[in-house]
A and B are shown apart, each in its own frame.
Chain A
């Protein structure tokens, strides 16, 4: 029924806009155009605009400690390279690097890192710094782990007494360490009634442990940074066993596997981290409460 007629006279565009009466929408589009023009370089990858930047995949706990906010401006001021930190669990961070979506991976799961290096995904892995894991729990210590001879024995006491233990269960470095200890103790904790799988980050897991009057494995930096702020009624009940040593490493994505990886800039970052200046900066970093969270321990030989 539509009666199609040739369009002979068309109103001018200005008149058309008036006809449509969608001035607010036009304004919106205008504004967006302005944003696009003025911010194009920031909105897309800076590399396009000539700036140098790399993506560093790291862990949530490392980022939340505030270390990057302290270190990166120093590095950027010196080299002009922007480091964009994408914080995920350890497993996800390594995966990002394997896929080539990051240029550098900075995590704390030595075995997993070494495995990925052996598989050829990464090169030039270096130790950077360490902190350590501690077992925290209710100050009354119902499982009596304070007097345990090793972390393995402490875990055995928790299990045999059926005391509640909260696991992060998120494939993080801390979680990997915890599972390693259970394995060495010859215990299969998963599925037991007293074994809670939080599936959360370290701080939330601590809060769950606090609520449940339970034990959990934490890293010292998170513990120090959050115990007062979160008013945790927990205490360090076991520490100092070499198995609880938490080594942080950094490695570059292998440009042979991922030609798009920014290898040169990645190596500049790694070399800076393990050299005197980066090491001193790590040693000087303190959290809001004045605690020193990481101890630099880079050696000059590449792994």
Chain B
């Protein structure tokens, strides 16, 4: 194991980028998913199945498209975002968003309709009813966010393309591992791999806990 400054900065950057992407995806995806679960509007089923399809979006395609857009020749080239952590945040956000939306939707849709009826009977406004349903789905919603976090931290293709794996700037755990293996730096690669496994293990334990807590015993 190597625990040096380089490893530390790579791990820190990875976490910062992924947490930021997930936070933004949560901020937008959870309300959207809740809306999908609560509201009725035309073409709703199409939106839902679009979110479900986009959940499996191939990261390299996201990376490629984002690269072309952020490239100095691209539509958003003037922002100079290519090869910055911000570009990686954007890529991970794009990957996380459909997951958060689709899983939030099913989390809210899975709540027993009697909850909304009870809240309404107790005098809740339509907004408060939605909040009661969201509260009921809180563990499933947290699971949705954690699942998305798990996916983006393990992702390599998209962040490599738009981040560039620049030492000290945009080198994150996954791209560093890929590179270190390429040049035979197995020691650092293994250390990073262990950190990554630890994180994904923690994620799975958290997921399990949330799912167990969220499971309502009948009665």
Q: Bound pair: A and B?
A: yes
A residues touching B (Cβ–Cβ < 8 Å)?
A: 2-5, 7-11, 16, 19-22, 24-25, 28-29, 31-33, 35-36, 39, 42-45, 47-48, 55, 60, 63-64, 68-69, 84-87, 99-101, 200-201, 203-204, 226, 229-230, 258, 260-261
Q: Within the assembled complex, what's the spacing in Å between the Cα atoms of A85 and B165?
A: 8
Does the CB pair A43–B182 fall under 8 Å? Answer: no
Bitwise, B162-187 to A at CB < 8 A (1) or not (0) is 00111101100000000100111000
Residues on B with C-beta less than 8 A from A44 are 80-81, 84-86
Does the CB pair B82–A101 fall under 8 Å? Answer: yes
The residue from B126, B138, B167, B170 contacting A22, defined by CB atoms under 8 A apart: B138
Residues on A with C-beta less than 8 A from B78 are 260
How many pairs of residues, A versus B, come closer than 8 Å at their CB atoms?
A: 129
* 4 shortest interchain CB distances as A-B pairs: A32-B23, A64-B183, A45-B80, A86-B164
Residues on A with C-beta less than 8 A from B72 are 99-101, 258, 260-261
Q: Can you spell out 23 A-B residue pairs with CB atoms less than 8 angstroms apart?
A: A2-B40, A5-B126, A7-B126, A21-B135, A21-B138, A22-B135, A25-B145, A31-B23, A35-B20, A39-B85, A43-B20, A45-B81, A60-B183, A68-B167, A69-B167, A86-B164, A99-B71, A100-B71, A100-B73, A101-B72, A203-B183, A260-B72, A260-B80
B30: interface (CB < 8 Å): yes
Residues on A with C-beta less than 8 A from B79 are 45
Residues on A with C-beta less than 8 A from B169 are 84
Does the CB pair A55–B71 fall under 8 Å? Answer: no
Residues on B with C-beta less than 8 A from A84 are 83, 164, 166, 169-170
Residues on B with C-beta less than 8 A from A39 are 16, 85
Does the CB pair A20–B134 fall under 8 Å? Answer: yes
The residue on A at minimum CB distance from B182 is A201
A122 nearest CB across to chain B (Å): 15
Does the CB pair B164–A28 fall under 8 Å? Answer: no
Does the CB pair B30–A25 fall under 8 Å? Answer: yes
Residues on A with C-beta less than 8 A from B58 are none
Does the CB pair A28–B16 fall under 8 Å? Answer: no
A8 nearest CB across to chain B (Å): 8
The residue on A at minimum CB distance from B67 is A101
Q: With A19-B132, A44-B86 in contact, do A226 and B20 touch (Cβ < 8 Å)?
A: no
Q: With A84-B164, A260-B77 in contact, do A32 and B131 touch (Cβ < 8 Å)?
A: no
A288 nearest CB across to chain B (Å): 11
The residue on B at minimum CB distance from A57 is B164
Does the CB pair A5–B24 fall under 8 Å? Answer: no
Does the CB pair B135–A28 fall under 8 Å? Answer: no
B26: interface (CB < 8 Å): yes
The residue from B19, B27, B131, B142 contacting A35, defined by CB atoms under 8 A apart: B19
The residue on A at minimum CB distance from B68 is A99
The residue on A at minimum CB distance from B80 is A45
Q: Within the assembled complex, what's the spacing in Å between the Cα atoms of A43 and B183?
A: 27
Residues on B with C-beta less than 8 A from A87 are 165, 179
Q: With A5-B125, A10-B127, A84-B169 in contact, do A36 and B80 touch (Cβ < 8 Å)?
A: no
The residue on B at minimum CB distance from A86 is B164
Residues on A with C-beta less than 8 A from B128 are 11, 19
B89: interface (CB < 8 Å): yes
Apart from A8-B125, A44-B80, 7 more pairs, CB < 8 Å: A21-B138, A28-B22, A29-B27, A43-B85, A84-B166, A86-B166, A203-B184
The residue from A47, A85, A86 contacting B80, defined by CB atoms under 8 A apart: A47
Q: With A201-B183, A226-B184 in contact, do A31 and B19 touch (Cβ < 8 Å)?
A: yes
